[in-house]
Amino acid sequence: MIEHLLTLDARDPLAHKRAEFTLPEGVVYLDGNSLGAMPRAVPDRLARVLHGEWGEALIRSWTAGADRGEDWMALPDRVAAKVARLIGAQAHEVAVGDSTSVNLFKVLAAALHLNPDRRVILTDAENFPTDLYVAQGLGELLGRGHELRRVPAREIAAQLTPDVAAVLLTEVDYRTGERLDMAAVTAAAHAQGVLTVWDLAHSAGAFPVDLRGAGADFAVGCGYKYLNGGPGAPAFVFVAERHLPHAPTALSGWMGHADPFEMERSYRPAENARRFVVGTPQVLSLSALDTALDVFEDVNLGDLRAKSLSLTDTFIELMAPLGERFPLTLATPLDHARRGSQVSYRHPDAARVMARLTGRGIIGDFRTPDILRFGFTPLYHSHLDVARAVLGVQAVLEEQA
């Protein structure tokens, strides 16, 4: 088996990317689906911003360096263009800034405005909590009988009734790693006059996303998981080109203005998705994300997906004997089309198992009530990492037994 894993690693077209990340010695880090590892180029970039752009140039950095692509004012647009390639969008359909939750509020409000005679936001009953909270809060704010309707994911298509304005879904379930068929769900929604809002928190950077190909209306996502932008990295928002002239901005801040420094007294939105940016660009965190995204520049996204599936297949295969000995139940689909880039198992004592794994340097994640979650990042994981992780799981389970 070890020879087979070594062969897989030797043939890996992304193997050289591992050297571009800072990874702790002696640790197998399988929690990049919560916080990605730090690209090695980020500290130098931040040092330049701190000492040169901020420390020396000061306010001039907002516009100085435009000829070199270094001005702060255009930084969000440069980052948006890099994100667009990874999610199957055009650069003018993507804006970067604020948080995922704030961006979700904006696009949900826009979707409800575009479907004014409907009052329901339809969502997966087990969607990520912040998505549910934002949708619930928006409905209460609007009043007028708006409702957040939660149903099991498998029932979404059957629940696309004439009162549904928008369907809010996370492409990859944060607990189980199950991936929804974005194109099929979007087509079913559109057939009933329903707009789609997709959360790409566990998709962008893990495998190719094709928003335009799927016909998606809106999407949001974060910059700190598979995009490796650092804790609290700015989020992104996608608005399909066809909606840009009509989708209102519920939060109309000055950075979304067509010409912010004109200082007009009336709001005139930018023509592209930048209209959905509210506040001043977070220059330090945007600079970190900008540099982190450079890691993807020479990456074939097809290779990214192939390696993700190879890593997760290998993990599932090596874990199978442990499932026969211990109370482990695979929660992630075996079908490639229905799998993201993580593998999850149910265990009755999952919290304690994960705590012991972390103590051994196998860092995964626990999700209530009984989920052991392991995220695989194709850019910096090897198949030997997978084997080390499985040996760690085996040791912990044997100790507990």
User: Which residues are catalytic, by number?
Assistant: 128, 199, 224-225, 373
Question: 280 a known binding residue?
Answer: yes
Question: 100 a known binding residue?
Answer: yes
Question: 366 a known binding residue?
Answer: no
- Rg over alpha carbons for the chain, rounded to the nearest Å, is 22
- Which residue, chain included where needed, has tokens 């005139």? 268
Question: 202 a known binding residue?
Answer: yes
Question: 99 a known binding residue?
Answer: no
Question: 129 a known binding residue?
Answer: yes
Question: 101 a known binding residue?
Answer: yes
Question: 161 a known binding residue?
Answer: no
Question: 176 a known binding residue?
Answer: no
Question: 128 a known binding residue?
Answer: yes
The annotated binding site is made up of 100-101, 128-131, 170, 199, 202, 224, 254, 280
The annotated binding site for pyridoxal 5'-phosphate is made up of 100-101, 128-131, 170, 199, 202, 224, 254, 280
